[in-house]
Chain A
Amino acid sequence: MNTKRKLLVLARRDHAEAMRVAAGLTIFGHQVRLVFMDRLVAETEENAAMAELLALSDIAPETTVAEQTDLAYLDAAALGAAIAEADGVLSL
């Protein structure tokens, strides 16, 4: 079996690692959503590099952090819907 999945990556502990994993998951054609949680994404070189990787992977990250105004915001209901729609949820 070789199936393209709808995957949701929750970026909690390490945003850069979550971005790396999310981008990698697209390699086999999976549809990947990435949601930053817990805090603002830090402006670091590592995060900037991984953000470029996301762009190359056609992933538009979202956030549950209201202060992160440059990204689409998911409230609790929207996050719940995203989880319900996903074939797999990865928490990093």
Chain B
Amino acid sequence: MSIDILFHVSHRGAGRYLFPLIAAARRRGASVACFFTYDGVLVAADPRLKEVLGDARAVVCEESWHRFRPGEPCPVEAGSQTVNSALMAEATRVVSL
């Protein structure tokens, strides 16, 4: 499945931009996906994410999750940088936040 926009989230403060951008993209009918790494994984822990994502794919770098949220269950799909590389291959556009 192709992805119109891949949001690459690597900053804990990115939620303020990510959530409205996902919502806007979906309103326009664009398919989106998210990959969270470094302290951007903290955005994945925000309960608002699932509301805006709908059926879009969201993957958290497992290593970063364990670093910033040790011992806590991951709320979305956990993956590796291999998944990140695969998503880049599927995405038409990449937005880094």
Contact = CB atoms under 8 A, between A and B. Distances in A.
Contacts of A92: 10, 37-38
A34 to B, nearest CB: 14
Given A20-B81, A21-B37, A30 B96 contact: no
Contacts of B82: 24, 27-28
Given A1-B2, A92-B10, A25 B96 contact: no
A26 interface: yes
Interface residues of B, number: 22
Nearest to B81: A24
Interface stretch (B22-30, B52-60, B70-78, B85-93): B85-93
Interface residues of A, number: 25
Contacts of A28: 82, 85-86, 88-89
B85 A1 contact: no
Nearest to B37: A21
B94 interface: yes
A87 B93 CA distance: 8
A30 B89 contact: yes
B10 A91 contact: yes
Interface string A1-31: 1111101000001100100110111111110
Interface of B: 2, 8, 10-11, 37-38, 63-64, 80-82, 84-86, 88-94, 96
27 contacts: A1-B92, A3-B89, A3-B90, A4-B89, A5-B88, A13-B11, A17-B37, A17-B38, A21-B37, A21-B84, A23-B81, A24-B80, A24-B81, A25-B88, A27-B82, A27-B85, A28-B82, A28-B85, A28-B86, A28-B88, A28-B89, A29-B89, A30-B88, A87-B94, A90-B96, A92-B37, A92-B38
